[in-house]
Chains A and B, each alone.
Chain A
Amino acid sequence: MKVIKAGIQDNIQDMGRFGHQHLGINPGGAMDRFAALVANWLVGNDTKEAVIELNFPASAFLFEKPLLIALSGADLGASVNGDEIPVNHPVWVGKNSLLQFHKISKGARAYLAVRGGYKIAPWLGSKSTNLKAKLGGYKGRSLHKDDDIPLNYDNQHHPVLDKKEFFVLPWHADMSWENNPDKEILVLPGAEWNRLTESGKETFMKTSFVVTNQSDRMGYRLNNQKLPVTSGEEMVSSGVSYGTIQLLPDGKLIVLMADHQTTGGYPRLAHVISAHHPRLAQLKAGEKIQFRFTDQRTAEELFLSQHQHLQQLHNACKIRLEEFLYALH
């Protein structure tokens, strides 16, 4: 699988590198784990397999051999040899197929999975690219033009392809699990929430903030008005997590994302609930973000219900693909 044109930042990610934060090694992993899992499951891969996280403008890929692929997450207007293909469907692509991305119409990050996965040596138990340490993933970096990504199953010819350039398998993964169409993001209070003055708290809760273009895999900077604090006491470094909302010394907010540092020394005002990490990951610069407080129990229940939905998807993907492969034998 060759990279014909490089995107702005596409790299290999999996579910993350855990158990090494005490050494300052951040977990990383896919920003939208929900979508990364679904992409893998659509092609029959294991949960731990790596995917390529694509940002727009994304790379263009040439598949030299027939292959079963799937895209999930953002809709980046994908095409195979010029013909549009949908997200959240498995797609069989023929020999010398060109996968390109034309426009971003929904979300921010897409995930590309190939059946069997990418042949990448794990580092500390994970294939995720650690961009800061330049380790893991494909040569520890984002993909460049002319990169040749080795695959675990390199020839996946299938009879459905006999007379076609590609074939969209006739089922798709339903990504909606929560009856809440708005973009509101639920948060839990952080240890230093009370450092904000009453007016600061009100601004935090009632204003929607814009995600600035100073946003990446490490964190999203928001363009909030300066939030007033009751105490400017310096903090010694302490643990943070994906979704932690910190107040920077200039009064601006930063939401920590998948490549966050293991510890931080800024006040932790709130934490985005795990169930809404995918929603957060699919925000792009210029979009608005509105926080609303919830409680521990609701946060946990939402995560569990999301997990249940994912399990159902996992089973359904498995059954559909097995049936399809069996029927054509």
Chain B
Amino acid sequence: MSRPRAACTTLAPIQGLEVFDFLYLFYAFTVKKSTVVPSLLEFSWYLEEIIVNQPAFPYRIFSLGDQALSVDYGNVIDETINEEVIARYYQLKNEHIDGITELIPAYSSLTICYDLITIKKQAGSLNGFDWVKKLVEGKLEEPRPFLENKSDHIKIPVCYDREFGVDLPAIAESKNLSMDEIISIHCSKKYKVFMLGFLPGFAYMGTVDDRIAMPRKSNPVNVIPGSVGIAGIQTGIYPLFSPGGWQIIGRTPLALFNSSKEQPSLLKAGDSVSFYPIAKKEFVNF
């Protein structure tokens, strides 16, 4: 019985009554989804769980040369881990730390590039690397910030015509599906943008339904901008002309990368994306 009391006494004065009431209602209607009023005791357990027992993500930090390091959460494609990466990306970004030149969130890692000259001025007798590592470890001990209005949902029209979806027949054959089935499976899910990389504006999204997951081609071919592809359980769109090994299933008329815009990339890490099919006529007139 002492557990819930501890949570209540520490929280109530800090959060104030209105927040407390709001959280209680949120818990009652959204988490419990029950018409029976949950007891305060039950509610306080819930509070303790969300506030005291924040999930911890084990990580290791390694050097990426002498002007960058990576916080690595393991070699996985996992939405919860990626959420942690993106939250930490925004946390460090908002700190505007002098000498940090780049923050690169990936599937399960956050790379931090720094200017060694600027860092050494602050590091005293420590190595630049050790100083940045310590700083980052300190930041990761802080509770992770709540991400508000950081992600958008983007609906992307795709023309799955055979002319654009050059690899549709091969996937259909290998997966024993009709091309229409592949299209409807690809359009049936909401995907998460895990990271951007490879090319300006290239979003790595997932995860793709196992029924249409296809390995990369062994030899890259030239790919046209707007091409929508599948590689393993990932899906992505080529923003530029490029050699590429993903299996191409269609093409979007949207520009994924527009250099004249202040925000040149249509997508960013943390966004969600859904695809909808359009006819070739719509593609042409888009």
List A residues at the B interface (Cβ < 8 Å): 18-19, 21-27, 123-124, 130, 132-135, 188, 190-191, 233, 235-244, 261-263, 268, 271-274, 296-297, 299-300, 303-304, 307
Contact = CB atoms under 8 A, between A and B. Distances in A.
11 contacts: A18-B102, A23-B268, A24-B199, A124-B264, A132-B240, A191-B70, A237-B204, A238-B70, A243-B65, A274-B66, A300-B120
B62 interface: yes
Interface stretch (B45-53, B71-79, B164-172, B182-190): B71-79
Given A236-B108, A304-B120, 13 more contacts: A21-B104, A22-B104, A132-B199, A236-B75, A236-B77, A236-B106, A237-B107, A238-B70, A238-B72, A238-B106, A239-B110, A262-B197, A262-B198
Contact of B65 (A236, A273, A297): A273
B228 interface: no
Nearest to B106: A238
Interface string B114-144: 0011001000000111100000000000000
A300 B65 CA distance: 10
A296 B66 contact: yes
Given A123-B259, A262-B198, A271-B63, A22 B89 contact: yes
Interface residues of B, number: 49
Which residue among B110, B128, B257, B259 has the maximum number of chain A CB atoms within 10 Å of its CB? B259
Contact of A240 (B64, B129, B264): B64
Interface string B209-244: 000000000000000000000000000000010100
Contacts of A135: 259
A191 B68 contact: no
Interface in B194-214: 195-202, 204
Contacts of A124: 264
A303 B66 CA distance: 9
B247 interface: no
Nearest to A311: B117
B67 A296 contact: no
B248 interface: no
B16 to A, nearest CB: 36
B116 A238 contact: no
B101 A18 contact: yes
Which residue among A124, A134, A188, A238 has the maximum number of chain B CB atoms within 10 Å of its CB? A238
B206 to A, nearest CB: 10
Contacts of A21: 102, 104, 111, 113
B127 A297 contact: yes
Contact of A239 (B77, B109, B127, B265): B109
Contacts of A188: 63, 65-66
A262 B104 contact: yes
Contact of B259 (A133, A233, A236, A272): A133
B103 interface: yes
A303 B129 CA distance: 13
B105 interface: yes
B269 interface: yes
Nearest to B65: A271
A188 to B, nearest CB: 6
Interface string B149-192: 00000000000000000000000000000000000000000000
Contact of A244 (B64, B128, B201): B64
Contacts of A299: 65-66
Contacts of B111: 21, 238-239, 241
B195 A237 contact: yes
Contacts of A243: 65
Contact of B117 (A24, A273, A304): A304
Given A236-B77, A237-B195, A23 B265 contact: yes
A21 B102 CA distance: 7
A22 B65 contact: no
A303 B114 CA distance: 13
A238 B109 contact: yes
B116 A241 contact: no
Contacts of B106: 236-239, 263
A127 to B, nearest CB: 14
B113 A241 contact: yes
B108 A22 contact: no
A263 B200 contact: no
B198 A237 contact: yes
A239 B70 contact: yes
Nearest to A124: B264
Given A239-B68, A263-B197, A22 B103 contact: yes
Nearest to B86: A22
Nearest to B256: A24
